[in-house]
């Protein structure tokens, strides 16, 4: 299994871990794992597409470290709002963004916000239904991605995740 699939499985496990009164630690780690499942799935897709073939595993691992949460958030904001930077627009070949791709971008935004709360806001409290809802959103993002992953829009999204700093200008 891949890291992102393992993280998604872990998110579900942690959300349901304690039967009666779930610990905040379990719920918070579930929320965080849901976000990281989508984060790593997108990075794996990007580096796998950019650097195909055997013998390139070390390069894919090195390039995976080049993705930043902040840049990925910026790209997700653009795609979630159905818009892209002017420099990236030609890569869409005049096609509008697919609803599933917009949903993946929205999921990344929502999950990152929830992860920030879970990881850094000590006053925040999570419930089991909230943790399961975020897990379901991550799982749906995986499903939505499978529907669009071969499209030019998906390729533009993945490229933007890595090159956001260069593409965001006019």
Tell me the per-residue pLDDT of 132-170, one tens digit each, with 9 for 90 and over.
Answer: 999 999 999 999 999 999 998 999 999 999 887 766 654
C-beta of residue 138 within 8 angstroms of C-beta of residue 114: no
Please give the biggest Cα pair distance in the chain: 54
pLDDT number for residue 56: 84
Instruction: Dump pLDDT digits (tens) for 35-87.
Output: 999 999 999 999 998 888 888 889 889 888 989 999 999 999 999 998 787 88
Spatial CA neighbour of 161 closest among 89, 64, 86, 93: 64
d(CA 40, CA 60): 12
DSSP sequence for 69-92: HHHHHHHHHHHHTT---TTTGGGG
Cβ neighbours around 83 below 10 Å, total? 12
pLDDT number for residue 80: 94
C-beta of residue 107 within 8 angstroms of C-beta of residue 100: no
Spatial CA neighbour of 168 closest among 39, 76, 40: 76
Mean pLDDT of 101-109: 97
Tell me the whole-structure pTM to 2 decimals: 0.93
Show me where the domains of the chain are located.
Answer: 3-167
- The tokens describing 84, both together, are 């892209």
Alpha helices in the chain (DSSP H): 3-15, 24-50, 57-64, 69-80, 99-120, 128-148, 152-167
Residues 6 or more apart whose Cβ sits within 8 Å of residue 18: 26
């Amino acid at each position: 299994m891949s890291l992102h699939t393992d993280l998604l499985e872990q998110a579900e496990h942690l959300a349901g871990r304690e039967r009666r009164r779930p610990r905040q630690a379990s719920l918070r780690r579930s929320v965080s794992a849901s976000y990281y499942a989508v984060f790593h799935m997108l990075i794996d897709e990007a580096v796998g597409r950019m650097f195909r073939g055997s013998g390139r595993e070390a390069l894919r691992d090195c390039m995976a470290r080049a993705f930043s949460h902040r840049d990925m958030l910026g790209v997700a904001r653009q795609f979630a709002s159905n818009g892209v930077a002017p420099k990236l627009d030609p890569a869409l070949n005049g096609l509008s963004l697919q609803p599933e791709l917009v949903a993946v971008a929205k999921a990344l935004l929502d999950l990152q916000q929830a992860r920030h709360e879970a990881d850094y806001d000590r006053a925040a409290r999570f419930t089991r239904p909230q943790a399961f809802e975020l897990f379901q959103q991550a799982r749906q993002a995986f499903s939505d991605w499978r529907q669009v992953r071969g499209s030019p829009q998906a390729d533009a999204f993945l490229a933007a995740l890595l090159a956001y700093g260069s593409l965001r200008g006019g």
